[in-house]
Structure 1
């Protein structure tokens, strides 16, 4: 390892240690009081992310505050975990991943999460929330999206936010004019979008599945099933790789009526770049999760706000 790699590794371990200490305080905060108001806060979690998840969901519910909790167990939640979740999240519904039928879409790689969400959107507005997120301030854009029954997504990054919603054919032309630019499934899928039926009218956005809202709709899983079949025809086994579920999530949101891209100066992914002064929501991407100590800091601040 180079000296810089050693320094980076040490910094990551120190940041993880600091966050592990900070997150313990979530157990001393008041439990969520669920609302049966047509909104679901949905997450897929396991025992390894239990405490960060409580920060994520409690901080969002504190600033929203709407909805009841539904969880997808990745297969690792223990009896003790479920008892703790019952106490802090007002007896949430917990679904076993193994019980979710994803056909005709792929299995694993978060597909059970997306399918479970879409199966519940017939009569609920469903918000997908990753466990590595912190809501740091008021979220009027989310409340407005729910009221207007408009789907939303977090932009993938600053560059992606500048492009917004585009037609499928535009996405291929802008990002992959000469074919896939990488071997990642997203590149292959975006390059293939120009070949889809009605590629000039169907839409896509380079969003982030870590935080997305799915409006009530009779469509259920119909949109994603059609899209997945089309991608499977074009990509084969590539379509079953990690990352295809995020592409599908972006596709569903983009093709819902009047969707919203959240403003990136307030709803951000934490890349290796300066934080805005007053973000409302931060998604701590794995690669840079513990960089600069921001995750620990916002975790502590969120816990303090819950105790106030």
Structure 2
């Protein structure tokens, strides 16, 4: 396998993973509740089974909420039938129906904008399909109950509180603006934005909660306009900018909850601690060491125990 191109290895790994977690289809369906909470994900036909593990394992711990989906354009009629059975006939939004307006198209912007457009009366949780909930999530429950937005952190060094833009940029990029990856380009220039009241946190859009009644597109548009002036319109359109906007949005909402990284974490091919309650298996190391499959199977066993 190591001699195959990366895209071929990833495709084979994904197929093997799907075969290994097919047992998710034998677990009880979600019983959705119209209680003001929405579990929202953007998915396609290629991640149907991993998504079911992600949403079912989280819903099991929360015990509340309904499911909504953004179809990336690839869901088939059979996929929709499976989703209807396992997720309680979820709301499905077509990605082509999302009006991005002045925002970029693609790069998960449709996902972010759908949340901002619909959060007025409900608490929306953005959940990536490559996540697995392994234990109780009281911090998430408390955030939802108290109607405070939350985010998974980007790493253990992300800090415990959002920082003013200049302070964040100075502490993370002491040499000033840098080039390279879009996250580096944008974050290192945050200090150039003359808004002392704005804050930022290095979070991860793979798991984030948006409190009901929070700001819509206006705040994101204001931030995007400032960043566009610094990195250019082409820079704003690069994949990855949606996550930066999500981080900014949550950092500027009232008393955001930054989930403790020892329990809510991204997988970087390191051994998972027994404390891990929620794991985001990022693309770089998603299939390394069989950890994703092991975690998914563990979640499936927990779900089957409910039968």
TM-score (norm 2): 0.93
Tell me the equivalent position of 1:287: 284
Aligned length: 303
Instruction: Give the deviation of 1:182 after TM superposition.
Output: 4.1
Is 2:212 aligned against 1:216? yes
Tell me the equivalent position of 1:206: 202
Tell me the equivalent position of 1:230: 226
Tell me the equivalent position of 2:70: 72
Instruction: Give the deviation of 1:123 after TM superposition.
Output: 0.5
Counterparts of residues 8-157 of structure 1 (less than 5 Å): 16=14, 18-157=16-155
* Deviation by residue 1:29-56 (Cα, 9 ceiling, x = unmatched): 1110101000010000000001100000
Residue aligned with 2:82, SS? helix
Q: 1:261 aligns with which of 258, 271, 275?
A: 258
Tell me the equivalent position of 2:166: 169
Unaligned segments of structure 2, at least 5 residues: none
Instruction: Give the deviation of 1:163 after TM superposition.
Output: 5.7
Instruction: Give the deviation of 1:215 after TM superposition.
Output: 0.5
Residue aligned with 2:79, SS? helix
Residue aligned with 2:303, SS? helix
Residue aligned with 2:39, SS? strand
Instruction: Give the deviation of 1:165 after TM superposition.
Output: 1.5
Instruction: Give the deviation of 1:197 after TM superposition.
Output: 2.7
Tell me the equivalent position of 1:239: 236
Instruction: Give the deviation of 1:262 after TM superposition.
Output: 0.2
CA RMSD of aligned residues (A): 2.0
Unaligned segments of structure 1, at least 5 residues: none
Instruction: Give the deviation of 1:239 after TM superposition.
Output: 1.0
Q: Distance in 2 between matches of 1:268 and 1:177?
A: 26
Residue aligned with 1:150, SS? coil
TM-score (norm 1): 0.93
Do 2:160 and 2:258's aligned partners in 1 also have CA atoms closer than 8 Å? no
Do 1:164 and 1:206's aligned partners in 2 also have CA atoms closer than 8 Å? no
The more displaced of 13-22 and 24-33 is 13-22
